């Protein structure tokens, strides 16, 4: 005969078993509803003009430069007459930030340039920006060792004065000013202001040569 102790308890005397840490599976309809709400909010922040601009990436490079400049103007950028945009240009920043880009007359923007528009970027007249150059107006504050990069951004404007030339793959960091007639060499990283009529290169960028003025 089997001992009663070997059988699981039954009836009113059966203990209630509680499983700690076990949660009920979320209701599928609530998950779908939350996804729809988040998608609707995200779409509400999308700028259709920026999407249209991104589609110009499919156009052949070094063609339709005036048309690209006009389309960039339609996104909200301040683009003056006589500007040539020779290829796709990436605009990054919050909704409506395209208005932070101001391009003076006679400027030439090469393909694959990135403009980070958390603050203003101002290009004077006859400025040349080389392929794959990056102009970033935002950085992050330094936090404790547990997380050095703080999420809040520190945005500062970038100014490139008349006639300056920013070379292939150069990086301009937040808050810098490139002086009139200066040249930033290919691959240079600029973290401080550059005087007018000098050539800088390297990381960090250093003055290598003084250039003649007008």
Query: Does the annotation mark 95 as catalytic?
Result: no
In whole numbers, what is the pLDDT of the chain averaged over residues? 84
CA distance 140 to 153: 5
Per-residue b or e along 27-41, where b marks 16 or more CB atoms closer than 10 Å to that residue's CB: eeeeeeeeeeeeeee
CATH architecture of 41-210: 3 Solenoid (2.160)
> One of 23, 70, 95, 140 is an active-site residue; which one?
140
Give mean pLDDT, residues 195-202.
97
What are the DSSP E strand ranges found in 57-213? 78-79, 84-85, 89-92, 101-103, 108-109, 113-116, 121-123, 128-129, 134-136, 138-142, 149-155, 158-160, 165-166, 171-172, 177-178, 183-184, 189-190, 198-201, 206-210
- Residue 126: pLDDT band (50, 70, 90) is very high
Q: What is the pLDDT of residue 140?
A: 86
- Residue 213: pLDDT band (50, 70, 90) is confident
Q: What is the pLDDT of residue 22?
A: 54
Q: What is the pLDDT of residues 133-170, one digit of tens each?
A: 999 999 888 888 998 888 888 899 999 999 999 999 99
Q: What is the pLDDT of residue 190?
A: 98
0.85 surpassed by pTM: no
Q: Which residue has the higher pLDDT, 64 or 161?
A: 161
Answer whether residue 42 shows pLDDT above 70: no
Q: What is the pLDDT of residue 209?
A: 96
Q: What is the pLDDT of residue 24?
A: 58
What's 110's DSSP letter?
-
Residues of the chain with pLDDT > 70, as a percent, come to 72
Answer whether residue 96 shows pLDDT above 90: no
Q: What is the pLDDT of residues 3-23, one digit of tens each?
A: 555 555 544 455 555 555 555
Locus of tokens 């973290």: 191
Under 8 Å between Cβ of 196 and 179: yes
């Amino acid at each position: 005969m089997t001992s009663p102790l070997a059988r699981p308890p039954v009836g009113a005397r059966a203990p209630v078993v509680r499983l700690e840490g076990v949660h009920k599976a979320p209701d599928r309809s609530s998950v779908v509803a939350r996804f729809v709400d988040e998608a609707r909010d995200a779409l509400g922040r999308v700028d259709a003009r920026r999407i249209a601009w991104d589609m110009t990436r499919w156009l052949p490079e070094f063609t339709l430069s005036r048309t690209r400049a006009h389309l960039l103007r339609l996104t909200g950028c301040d683009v003056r007459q006589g500007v040539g945009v020779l290829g796709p240009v990436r605009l990054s920043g919050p909704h409506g930030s395209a208005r932070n880009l101001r391009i003076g007359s006679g400027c030439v923007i090469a393909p694959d340039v990135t403009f980070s528009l958390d603050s203003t970027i101002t290009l004077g007249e006859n400025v040349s920006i080389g392929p794959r150059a990056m102009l970033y107006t935002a950085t992050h504050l330094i936090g404790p060792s547990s997380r050095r990069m703080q999420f809040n951004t520190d945005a500062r404007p970038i100014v490139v004065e008349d006639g300056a030339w920013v070379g292939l793959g150069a990086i301009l960091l937040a808050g810098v000013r490139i002086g009139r007639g200066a040249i930033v060499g290919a691959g240079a990283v600029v973290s401080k202001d550059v005087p007018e009529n000098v050539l800088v290169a390297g990381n960090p960028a250093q003055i290598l040569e003084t250039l003649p003025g007008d």
